Amino acid sequence: MTADDEDELDLPDLRVRGLAAVVSGNIRLEAARRDLSQQDLAEMIGRSRASVSARWHDQVPWTVTEIGILAEYMGIHPGELVEGRPPRPRWGW
């Protein structure tokens, strides 16, 4: 994933849209890096795909518990999903 890919994901700026939008953008970015669908995320957090879609599109904020569950599944610290900037890529396969 390149910087151009991150731009295509329309990642929000903390000052402009708030922390909930930043979290949502970071979750979209990490899901894309791992080729995870909304259905995959829904199964991880025990919600419907429609519920995840509402969070995906910033209509409903992700809960702290959901952030923690997703971070655990993704193998990252929950803070990486909450940072005011997108997490940097990890190159290592």
Q: 6 lies in a domain?
A: no
Q: 10 lies in a domain?
A: no
Residue 39 is part of a domain; what is its CATH number? 1.10.260.40
Q: 92 lies in a domain?
A: no
Q: 12-17 — which CB contacts under 8 Å span 24+ positions?
A: 14/84, 14/85, 17/58
Per-residue model confidence (pLDDT) at position 69: 98
Q: 15 lies in a domain?
A: no
pLDDT band at 91 (very low <50, low <70, confident <90, very high): low
Residue-averaged pLDDT of the chain? 84
pLDDT band at 74 (very low <50, low <70, confident <90, very high): very high
Closest CA to 10 of 53, 78, 58: 58
Q: Taking residues 39-60, report their average pLDDT.
A: 96
Q: How many domains does the chain have?
A: 1
Q: Residue 27: pLDDT above 90?
A: yes
> Domain containing 69: what range?
21-82
